[in-house]
Amino acid sequence: MNSKNARPYDLVLFGATGFVGELTARRLALRAPADCRWALAGRSRAKLEALRDRLSAEHPGCASLPLVVADAADPASMRELAESTRALATTVGPYVWYGEALVAACAEAGTHYADLTGEPEFIDSVFVRHDARARETGARLVHACGFDSIPADLGAYHMVQQLPEGVPLRVDGFVRSGAMFSGGTFASALTAMGRGPQTLRAARERRLHEPRLVGRRATSPVGPPRFRRETGTWALPLPTVDGPIVARSARALERYGPDFRYRHFASVRTLPMALAGPAVVCAGAALAQIPPVRRRLIDLVEPGTGPSAERRARSWFSVRFVGEGGGRRVLTEVTGGDPGYDETAVMLAESVLCLALDELPEASGQLTTAVAMGDALLERLRSAGLSFRVVHSR
């Protein structure tokens, strides 16, 4: 990629005027070094100017922040945006509808890219179409830089560091949360549920293009529902994008050992909740197959909106990991505040700062957060207030 001073910006935030976009902008205003050259981007100059005014009221240095008008529906403006910066973060989803032109532009320009997608169809189709070009230009294309899937991916990465090297490893992750999902997350989830055939087709095509792992194995099977004594909760299989992303990190990094297995679960306290949860998910998936109903459901929680600061302050998440290997058994935990809004903004902001400014391992193409940034991002997130800790080890 071009040298630091060859482009106007170190990083750009696209979709800055949305709800999570503004929270991310606030984190960047707080955490970006004084010499970091960053900009806000979106479709409306008036909204960008209003956001800059709000930021500068708290951080006077933001009064001169550059503003870039760009539209996800205009590939030419996406190319100009990608060519203007070393790294770019985007909150504009659902990504299967609005995301690919920007990924393509970043892959072509050698620009590091971070997003918040939890949409497996988008991730797989982007791999097939743009991974090879990103490898050629040196771009790091890093998806799922929010609650999907940093707690799972870096949580498993942190767990592996506590276990012996060179032996088969078994890790299970258990997610608990007391929070509301964002409108964007809700829209993306319903969109993904309503695109089952397209999602399966994208996964098959990815398998045809993905190189086979030789001499090692890394899998993410669906685990059975059961009560887990380690967490004191019922564990329900959680077939989100988190599990496959952890497995991709394990395939890329030899530290995960010769035979790595990760299973991802929702963790619920009571048996009635354990019985009701799958029924709710199945009902939502069935309704998402009917386009008018899906659109009506999406409209119930408008993307770009979110709960009050007071409500978010009461929200929290926890992901506990149980890991075994080489005769060692470890329990670790990742915890934080509001996952769908505040902590997602923290994670995206720290990810794009890391991509733009930090010394990172040699890597390019479509990457997970663990492979693209690893220890550097882990330390950034700790300094930003997220907890990665060992609970018990024997």
Q: Name which of 2-6, 129-133, 375-379, 388-392 the model is least confident about.
A: 2-6
Residue ranges per domain, the chain?
Answer: 4-146+343-378, 150-340+387-393
**Per residue in 360-370, pLDDT tens?**
999 999 999 99
Q: Is-contact 172 223, C-beta < 8 A?
A: yes
Sign for the pseudo-dihedral over CA of 7, 8, 10, 16:
negative
Q: Do domains 4-146+343-378 and 150-340+387-393 have the same CATH topology?
A: no
pLDDT given at position 291:
65
The pLDDT-based confidence of 356 (bands split at 50, 70, 90) is very high
Give the tens place of pLDDT for each residue, 152-190.
999 999 999 999 999 999 999 999 998 665 565 566 566
Instruction: Look at the block and give the residue holding tokens 């006077």.
Output: 60
pLDDT at 246 over 50: yes
CA 2 to chain centre: 26
| Span 206-231, average pLDDT | 92
Which segments of the chain does DSSP mark as H helices, in order? 19-31, 45-58, 75-83, 95-98, 100-109, 120-137, 150-162, 183-193, 196-209, 242-252, 271-288, 291-300, 309-313, 342-357, 369-372, 374-383
Burial of 279 (0-12, 13-18, 19+ CB in 10 A): exposed
| Max avg pLDDT among 221-225, 270-274, 293-297 | 221-225
CATH architecture observed for domain 4-146+343-378:
3-Layer(aba) Sandwich (3.40)
**Contact assessment for residue 347 and residue 332, using Cβ atoms and an 8 Å cutoff:** no
Whole-model pTM? 0.91
CA 123/CA 120 separation, integer angstroms: 5
Q: 150-340+387-393: which CATH architecture?
A: 2-Layer Sandwich (3.30)
Q: How far apart are CA 52 and CA 63, in angstroms?
A: 6
Please report the pLDDT score of residue 230 as a whole number: 85
How confident is the model over 275-299, as pLDDT tens digits?
A: 555 555 555 555 455 666 556 655 5
